[in-house]
Amino acid sequence: MNAKLLKIIILNRWSALIHDFLWIPCVLILSYWIRFNFESIPETHRPSLLWLILLAIPLQAALFWRFGLYRGLWRFASIPDLVRIVKAACMGTLLLVTCSAITTRLDGVPRSIFVLYPLLLITGLSLSRISYRWYKDRRLTIRTASGQRTIIVGAGRAGEMLVRDLKYREDYQPVALIDDNEKLHNREIHGVPVAGSIEKLGEIARSLNGELILIAIPSANKMLLRQIVDQCALINIPYKILPSVSEIAEGQVNVEKLRHVTVEDLLGREVVDMDKRAIAAYLAGKVIVVTGAGGSIGSELCRQLSALQPERLIIFENSEFNLYTIDSELRGSFPELSIDSVLGDVKDIDRINWVFATFSPDVVFHAAAYKHVPMLEANPAEGVRNNVLGTKVVADAADRYKVKYFVFISTDKAVNPTNIMGATKRIAELYCQNFNKFSETRFITTRFGNVLGSAGSVVPLFQKQIDKGGPVTVTHPQITRYFMTIPEAVMLILQAGAMGEGGEIFVLDMGKPVLISDLAKQMIQLSGLVVGEDIDIIFTGLRPGEKLFEELLHDGETLQDTAHGKLFLASSRQVEWSLLKEQIEALRSAACSRDVEKMTSIIHEIVPEFRR
């Protein structure tokens, strides 16, 4: 804490303490004066008055301190401060009566004094504090009249707390609240009127010359949030938002909690509750391996798994920097957790066998993969070796060392693939799904689309282009993609593992596909810029292997509902196990010799729906 600020706080406490001490004799003298009808106090009662003053000062002062009258600041005096004063005054009166009765048998003390004393003491101490707050609030109102004219959307608990906080800020002048609750319309909260409903936000903002809009609805769904953001964009007024309920620690709401609206706020979806008991049942107290632990999905898996109190977490990663980054984060956030960071490649059979032999894992989450479509189109053999052969190495080890659960993270690009990345992930799906019939390990596959903010995804690419001043490049005007947040995807992966019996392909509910050109426009608007004026959007044409739209099901697959509203089962085709192993072995040979033509031919045999 700043030394000057600390000095001021200490000085204010001593000032308050002296003020309260002075009130004690004043209140006792006033009580006697009232008792004797505002005439002089008889000489026969003056000794008792003096005795009560000498007794009350140390007793009452100790109680003032004990009940915390000096924890808060007078500037923010409120009901809790009044309660503390009442408790201290009542307890002081009780002790005063008891001590006087023991020492003087209440000789010469009018009994009405013990009624008047607490009432006058409570009134004096409370009025001083309330008057000081009123004075400060009045001065603040005058001083902040030149602050940013601010409109708060949401007149609930969060909005009320935000208005209260803004009242003490020089940079903000709250002029109105907006809420759809008609019962609140034309009423005031801390002197700020509730001006109308959200649909009239633009009209109200213009009429009040609004300069800033603050969204204070932590429980707002995405549709409502998009409606508010669209209106803010139309009237060209900057806006900020309070985080969601889960992000606000301890229910505290103030200006410091405000942040800019992100694309995750608009595209992320409401997450249904997870079956935490089922998830904990197969993960808590277990030894868990996460491959690709430094990637977007892998690192979030590690975070959520660490919170479930496993016995040991082995984080396996090929990138030294990524491994170091997630290792440092986990050790800082979960100091009690046993963590082993293993640098290695999933294609390295000896390294994988060493990990499984050394740690005897109960559960494996296989997130390691090459996923960048154009990069794998240029390097198809490496895609095959990592995504197919690497998965086979880890799956074989899981079977050999009798791992109970093997959860494979796949992608919607594996459906009717048009690129090497999708085709290799589809082969890995087939291997895990069919291996389940011959293994004691439960092989479970999860399939989902793009995650917001993952490495190499379109969102960080757009943000970099916006930061540089544009243009923002979109491959095609009609291209669409599914999106979900990384934490939501990982929660559903964990849920699928809890539900899986082995051999299933769980398809995650991705919601509605998003038009990428609309996403680009939203991100430009969220940056406070205008499309076509500040930043242009240009279309560059589809890249090699890129589809206009992604699919979550192959031809012939059907979705079955599960007990969880956001997880579905895909009834995928079965293959001949011995033939699949022969084909993968031939694929290995072609990939190692970099025979791309032969490799592509084998991929077509395994994945007939592959179109390249």
Catalytic residues: 413
CA distances from 540 to 163, 520, 543 (A): 47, 14, 8
> In a 3-state reduction of DSSP, which class is residue 259?
strand
Tokens of 423: 């085709």
DSSP-assigned letter for residue 457: S
Q: What residue type is assigned to position 327 of the chain?
A: D
- Write out the two tokens for 118: 């607490």
Helix (H, G, I), strand (E, B) or coil at 49: helix
Distance between alpha carbon 551 and the CA centroid of its chain, in Å? 29
Query: Residues, the chain, total?
Result: 612
Q: How far apart are CA 373 and CA 258, in angstroms?
A: 37
In contact, 475 and 546? CB cutoff 8 Å: yes
Residues 6+ apart with CB under 8 A from 487: 271, 300, 304
**Helices 296-306 and 486-499 meet at what angle, rounded to 10?**
60
Cβ atoms of residues 408 and 391 within 8 Å: yes
- The pair of structure tokens assigned to 240 is 């900020």
Q: Where are the alpha helices (DSSP H) in 360-485?
A: 373-378, 380-383, 390-400, 420-435, 458-467
Pairing of the two strands 514-515 and 480-481: antiparallel
Rounded Cα gap, residues 548 and 480, in angstroms: 6
Q: Sign of the CA dihedral 500, 506, 512, 515?
A: positive
453, 299 contact by CB (below 8 A):
no
3-state secondary structure at position 481:
strand
61 C-beta neighbours (distance < 10 Å), count: 17
Burial class (CB in 10 A: 0-12, 13-18, 19+), 158: buried
CB 314 within 8 A of CB 356: no
DSSP-derived letter for residue 212 is: E
Query: Which residue bears the tokens 């706020």?
Result: 265
d(CA 172, CA 529): 23
| Alpha-carbon gap, residue 18 to 57, rounded angstroms | 11
Report the relative pairing of strands 172-178 and 188-189 from DSSP bridges.
Answer: unpaired
Half-sphere exposure of 560 (CA within 13 A, CB side): 11
d(CA 27, CA 50): 13
